[in-house]
A and B are shown apart, each in its own frame.
Chain A
Amino acid sequence: MHATLTNIPPAPGKRAALRSLTGGPLRPGTIELTAAAIRRLGLQRGAKLLDMGCGYGASINMLQSEFDLNVFGLDIDLGKLGDLRKEGSGLALVQADAGRTPFLSRSMDAVLCECVLSLLGCADDALREIARVLRPGGFLVLSDIYVRSPEGRGAEDRNQPSGPLTCCLDYAMDRPGVESLLSRRGFEVLSFEDHTQLLTRLAAKLVFTFGSLEAYWETLLPPARAAKACAAGERLKPGYGVFLARKGERHGHG
């Protein structure tokens, strides 16, 4: 079985338990992994970076303290932004859909998008928006779950209802699928790093904590959906990786 993540806010007590597993957000990647990816971009101090799907802001804090960037946080979940607002003053936070943000075209030097696209039924809309807000030559750091066995995707996995009961395997793509979307939106993929081992470790932690992956899923989903999420994990063999991409000079999008 394999771990998958969900965008459903669990009950407060469970949320605290989940956050304690990864020292912050429930995601496979560590803050060091994010820092290493940002370091490779060679951004100047004060460069403008949009953290799309910033959640509780673990990366924002690191980006400000370690790289001295001008960071903007965006998330659809007002509750998470509210928690983040309480923790730090002066943060530039926006509640908006990833496919429709209020930022000016070509206004960002970089966009960070961690474990977001796999939760969206419209990843292409989000990538189009990222391409719009990035300046030509700007960078995208995209870390996410990806499907290692796309042949395991059955009819039962397609056309999942969008909305609050979304788990990342509903919309996770395989690596060529991600690269194809990036290319379509004018990005050049600079590198891809596989970190599936981190996803496996997170899954192991969930098993030790909750007793089984199915038990973990049942803390977030109705039993039938929990069983489906587990089965999908077995078939699709989710992996985890980080793409670095650069927006082409000729793709202005306004």
Chain B
Amino acid sequence: MSDLSFLPETNWRCGKCGEKLTPRITNVEYLGNTFTMELLACEKCGLVLIPEDLARGRMFEVEQLLEDK
């Protein structure tokens, strides 16, 4: 799973500390399941950006699966 990468083209900076966002291998956990993927994260504080299409698309469908709906 670590070969999955969700890096939107963006010039956004961290909303918390204003630093640049850079790709980072991140563990995403839900209901005891961990998925590893590359996401943009703040170089300074580590805040991770989850793109909206990922949250509303793949992540939403995975949540439904894990909730056994």
Contact = CB atoms under 8 A, between A and B. Distances in A.
A205 B34 CA distance: 11
Most buried by B among A20, A205, A237: A205
Contacts of A201: 33
Contacts of A203: 65
B58 A211 contact: yes
A204 B62 contact: yes
Interface string B30-69: 0001010100000000000000000001100110111010
B25 interface: no
Contact of A1 (B35, B58, B65): B65
Contacts of B37: 208
A189 interface: no
B61 A207 contact: yes
Nearest to B36: A208
Nearest to A209: B4
Given A20-B3, A209-B4, A204 B66 contact: yes
Interface residues of B, number: 14
A2 interface: yes
A201 B62 CA distance: 9
A213 interface: yes
Contacts of B58: 207-208, 211-212
A204 B62 CA distance: 5
Given A1-B65, A211-B57, A204 B4 contact: no
B62 A208 contact: yes
B61 A200 contact: no
B51 to A, nearest CB: 13
Interface in A55-96: none
B64 A1 contact: yes
Contact of B35 (A2, A20, A208, A211): A208
A253 to B, nearest CB: 40
Interface in A152-210: 200-201, 203-205, 207-209
A1 B61 contact: yes
Instruction: Please name the 9 residue pairs, one residue from A and one from B, whose CB atoms are nearest each other, closest first.
Output: A204-B62, A207-B61, A207-B62, A203-B65, A208-B58, A207-B58, A204-B65, A200-B65, A208-B4
